[in-house]
Each structure stands twice: as structure tokens, then as C-alpha cells.
A and B are shown apart, each in its own frame.
Chain A
Amino acid sequence: MDQDLKQEKIVEEARLFADKAIRPYAAEHDEKGRLPKNLIKKMAEKGFLSTSFPKEYGGLELDPVYYGLFTEEIGKACCSTRALVTVNTSLVGETMLRWARKDQKEKWLRDIASGRKIGAFALSEPEVGSNAQGVMTSYKESGSHYILNGRKKWITFGDLADFFIVIATGERGITAFIVEREFEGLKSHPIKGMLAGRASHIAVVELDDVAVPKENVLGGVGNGFTYIVNTALDHGRYSIAWGGVAVAQEALESMVAYSRQRSQFGKKIHEFQLVQGMIGDAVTKVHAARALCIRAGEMRREKAPQAIMETAIAKYFTSMVAMEVAANAVQIHGGNGCCSDYPVERLFREAKILEIVEGTSQIQQELIARFGLRKYYKKSKKS
């Protein structure tokens, strides 16, 4: 079968799965504050926890463009389920695929694919957000192990994960470690009261003299920031970019449906030009957002060095569009949009998170500006 056709079939399967097994329960997950293990199991059985992995590690071999389209389908139905894909497949899985040793890949990637193990990425700390190089969690060499101490915060799926990629600092520079939940001294506590991502098992992870075997270093000692964090955030941004398209598309569909059903002043509200203005803007921006993501995906498929920057641009734009379209979807729903009876209320909350995770919009703006200041500088010719 043609490769594109195979991939399209997987995305279509994801759409049907999302419609049947995810979307109808998204509000319930949000309310209960957890993703049921049964859903994770079903996703693993379908290969949806490893769609971008090669076959040898149990993956479905979606290329970056189709992986993006897959992410959109899951994200439209439920942001927390999409967050599982973002963290487990993109941040953890794809980073390990890129930089783990062969034996580490053998040990972990098949387990991720089969759902036997869920991974989480532990970078942020109570005092460390955007300045990722400032991590305070420490490591110290001790015989055949490293001893880790510190506190990680806002760790998505941190309360559910079976293992973590922990970023820590020490004598030989920032380093990434694969830390298993069962290692003595590791504890997690769920964070309650989240604006969104309520079913994403967001947690504080405490490391109290956790002894990590030396073979669990990921990507080499001292390479934790340059290669592991940057690779993980790049994959994370790509996934979040599609998550933004997902929220915006779902919100657009909701505003269209509602405006065609709802009547005021004796006519359907879509007939009002000011409502049409919001819908017209939403359609345009959703299309633009998806086009940016597809372009970034094509560049990733080509392994172009500029893909990192195009991904940052896509993430910045799509998260902004998600926020704007979700806000307008609430606006069109009026009072109903302010109530959890309608999904737009949740989409509005979820959109905000996308402007913060994997690098805030302001960090993206700085990155993009620096890129633009180089790329579009025409040196004047001196006479």
C-alpha cells in the first residue's frame, strides 16, 4: 500500500477512535481530574502511544506531517489525552529515539509503545520555568551511581508516569537521567486547582537522595541542556503547535454549530455580520495555523536545520490562534459558553495553557525575533 495512504488510514482510525472513545468522555476526565488507565491501554493497543516510532520499537512510522495530523485528531477530542501523546511520545519517546543508547532504546521504547511504561519529562522546578538552564535539582557522583536531589514542578503525567527524564545540574554540567518511579526517594504529588490540563496528572516530583545507575544517563554527562532539553522542547513544541490547531479547529466547529442552531431576534445568530466576522477570522486563522504546522512538519521530514525555528513559529502562532478562536467561540455561545455543559468552556481554559507550555509565547517571540534579525538583515552597501 502507498505510504501516504497507510498513514492517512492511521489518522482516519485516530479520528474514529477519538469520536467514539475520547470526545464523549473528555468533560468527565476534566471533572474527575484523571485519564482512565483503560483509555491509555486502548490507545497503546492501537499503537497510538508510539505513532511516530519506527516499527522495530513498536511504532506506526508516521512521518512528522502525519504525526501532526494524528495529534490534531486526538487533541480536538481531549487536550489531556493529547498531552499524554505530547509528553509520552514526543518529549520522552522521540528524544530517546534520537539520543538514547541502543540498549536504552531497547529497554524503554517498546515499553512506551505497548503502554507498559508511561514516561514524563521533569525539567521545570518551583523557581525555574523559562530559564531552563537554571535548574537547581542536583546530581553528585557516587561510585556506580549518581545521587539526585531536588524538586520538579508542573510535570505533566508526573503523578502517573512509571519513569522520568530528569534534568539536573552538577560538576560536569546539566545532565539528563532516566529515573524510575520505583527508585527509592522519588515521590510525586498531584497539583490540584489547575486552570486546565486537569486530567493530565500534573504533579510535583520530589527527589530525595535518589540513586540513579550511571547507565541511566541519557545523551552523555553534560549534554542535558544542549541536546536533551533542546531536542525534547523542539518535539514538544511541534506537538503543542498541532495541539493549538486542534483546539482552534474544535472551537471553530463548535461556534459554527452553535451559530447555526441558536436564534435571537427572530433569526439564526450566524446571520448577524458581527458573528460572521468572528467565524470568518476563525476560519482564516485556523487554516493559516494548520499551514504553518504542515510546513514545519515537511521541514522536519526533510530534517532541515530550519525546522526548529519553523516549529517555534508554528507553536507561537497556533497557540495564539487557539486562544483567540476559543475566546470567540465562548463569546458566540454567550452565557452557555461560560458553563461546562458546552465544550467551548473547556477549550477556552485549555487554550491558555498552550501559550505557556514548552516555552511561553514571549520566549518564542524572542527566539523568532533573533531569527528574523539575522535572516532578514540586508547589509547596506557602502559607497
Chain B
Amino acid sequence: MSRTQKIREFIESHLVISNNEKVLKDDDNIFELGFVDSLFALQLVSFIEKEFEIELENNDLDLKNFSSINSIVSFLENKLGR
């Protein structure tokens, strides 16, 4: 499974129920569009660390890094390479 698919699957399993019939696009801002709740960012951090075997640090925390599937993929490319 590609990184994009893994991330999509994780986000889709955490969509708030009012949005779980909507189709999530790769560049949708999941926070601004209300796809996820306030605890999600932390769950996403745990997922990224465990799934991609990296440790996120203080200076990685910019929410822009995690705001869409595309931004997460690009953040991981910067961290881990393609």
C-alpha cells in the first residue's frame, strides 16, 4: 500500500460522522473542513510515527504539515525521501 493510501485509510477511519459519507480529496484541508475532531491531530502524529517509523519533533508540529493527505505525503517525502 502506498503512503497516500495508508494515510487516506487512517484519516477515513477517523472522520467525524457528519462527514463520513463525503468523499475526501487529497488536497482537502481536513481540519478546516471539519473532517476530523480536535483529538485527531495527536492521533495522526502517533499514526505517522508508528507507521513510518519516525519521531516527530517540536519543529515538525506546524499544522500545515498535516492538513491534507497531500501535505502529509509531502512532509514525509521531505523527512524520509520518496
Contact = CB atoms under 8 A, between A and B. Distances in A.
B2 interface: no
A227 to B, nearest CB: 6
A226 B41 contact: yes
B41 A230 contact: yes
A307 B81 CA distance: 28
A100 B58 contact: yes
Contact of B46 (A99, A304, A373): A304
Contacts of A367: 39
Query: Could you tell me the dominant secondary structure of chain B's interface residues?
Result: helix
A3 B62 CA distance: 36
Given A133-B38, A370-B37, A220 B61 contact: yes
Interface stretch (B9-17, B22-30, B71-79): B9-17
Contacts of A223: 61-63
Contact of A230 (B16, B42, B58, B59): B42
How many A residues are at the interface, by size bracket?
20 to 34
Contacts of A226: 38, 41-42, 63
Interface string B32-53: 0000011101111111011000
Interface in A197-255: 219-220, 222-223, 225-227, 230-231, 234
A99 B58 contact: yes
Given A100-B58, A219-B61, A220-B61, A227 B43 contact: no
B62 A220 contact: yes
Contacts of B39: 230, 308, 367
B17 A303 contact: no
Nearest to B59: A220
Nearest to A234: B42
A374 interface: yes
Contacts of B59: 220
Contacts of A309: 43
B20 interface: yes
Contacts of B50: 302-305
B58 A305 contact: no
A375 to B, nearest CB: 8
Contacts of A220: 58-59, 61-62
Contact of B15 (A133, A225, A374): A374
Interface string A355-374: 00000000000010010011
Given A220-B59, A220-B61, A220-B62, A370 B16 contact: yes
A101 interface: yes
A220 B39 CA distance: 18
Contact of A374 (B10, B20, B47, B63): B20
B17 A370 contact: yes
Nearest to A225: B38
A367 B38 CA distance: 10
B49 to A, nearest CB: 6
A68 B41 CA distance: 25
B4 to A, nearest CB: 18
A377 B42 CA distance: 23
Contacts of A302: 50
Contacts of A374: 13-15, 17, 20
Interface of B: 10, 13-17, 20, 37-39, 41-47, 49-50, 58-59, 61-63
Given A100-B58, A226-B38, A374-B13, 5 more contacts: A223-B63, A231-B42, A304-B46, A308-B43, A374-B14
7 contacts: A99-B61, A219-B58, A231-B42, A303-B46, A305-B46, A308-B42, A374-B15
